[in-house]
Amino acid sequence: MPNLLQGKCALILGVANKWSLAYAIGEAFRREGASLVLTYQGERQRDAVETCAAELGASRLLACDVSKDHELEQLSEALKAAPGRLDAVVHSIAFANREELGNSFLETSRAGYLMAQEISAYSLVAVARAVAPLMGGGGSITTLTYIGSVRVIQNYNVMGVAKAALESAVRYLANDLGPRGIRVNAISAGPIKTASARAIKDFSSILDIVATRAPLRHNTEPGEVGDAALFLASDLGRGVTGNVLYVDSGFHIMGF
């Protein structure tokens, strides 16, 4: 299935390094002919993302901390200048303070709760508002979520609640943007060792459980997430919006 995104422009937020899920999505998009724009969170991340952008053959690299409204406005202006339009946007961003992922959920602080919600859920709304004017020809917005939104996963805590809000935001945004031909979906990925995942206590034991119990009996690979994102961004996904697509070796269907 070559060139599914030929002539399409994609914006990808959330590449931190080559292990990021956003990087695997970038690889899939690039393989199928998309022109890529990447963002980096701040100066601290710039060099690493610059390397990734070069490897992925991205045409532009722009700064965007999603917690700052003025940076989202600047991003929107920069995109209007070039490439001038977008067909696909990937939001692959989450953050919670480490201490909120180690204590019991009951101990969640107000500040920690709000921080996780702001970066991991509200940012999708802010990003969608910033990019929608560039998607005049319709398009696709995809975010990344995790099963901790609907099940209790030890130590996922405040992030599970943020992912629940994120998945709900996907549905409301899909309803608002559908009449403009913009589809909004989430991919619920199985656990994968990335920088963010390392913040979750006992993450390795989660990997072991999935590998032994999931129907496909293996852990999710980044390329599987990349190809699912490709499907959603391409014309093959044209009838799909407001959906949470599990790419987790089938783990989510299991009881005990």
For the chain, how far is it from start to end, CA to CA, in angstroms? Answer: 37
Q: Which CB atom, from 165 or from 181, has the smaller least distance to ligand 0WD?
A: 165
Binding to ligand 0WD (CB under 6 A): which residues in 15-44?
Answer: 16, 20-22, 41
Q: Does 192 bind ligand 0WD (CB under 6 A)?
A: yes
Could you tell me if 119 and 161 are in contact, meaning their C-beta atoms sit under 8 angstroms apart? no
- CB 211 to ligand 0WD: min, Å: 13
Q: Which of 5, 53, 66, 186 binds ligand 0WD (CB under 6 A)?
A: 66
Residues touching ligand 0WD, count (CB under 6 A) = 26
Which tokens in the block code for residue 34? 């998309």
Q: What are phi and psi of 30, to 5 degrees?
A: -65, -45
Q: Does 191 bind ligand 0WD (CB under 6 A)?
A: yes
Catalytic, 23? Answer no
Q: Does 54 bind ligand 0WD (CB under 6 A)?
A: no
Q: Which of 113, 146, 246, 251 binds ligand 0WD (CB under 6 A)?
A: 146
Q: Does 221 bind ligand 0WD (CB under 6 A)?
A: no
- CB 127 to ligand 0WD: min, Å: 9
From the list 26-34, 77-85, 168-176, 192-200, the region that binds ligand 0WD by CB under 6 A is 192-200
Catalytic, 146? Answer yes
Q: Which CB atom, from 37 or from 94, has the smaller least distance to ligand 0WD?
A: 94
Q: Does 92 bind ligand 0WD (CB under 6 A)?
A: yes
Q: Which CB atom, from 108 or from 120, has the smaller least distance to ligand 0WD?
A: 120
Enzyme catalytic residues? 146, 156
- Contacts with ligand 0WD by CB under 6 A lie at 14, 16, 20-22, 41, 45, 64-67, 92-95, 119, 144-146, 189, 191-192, 194-197
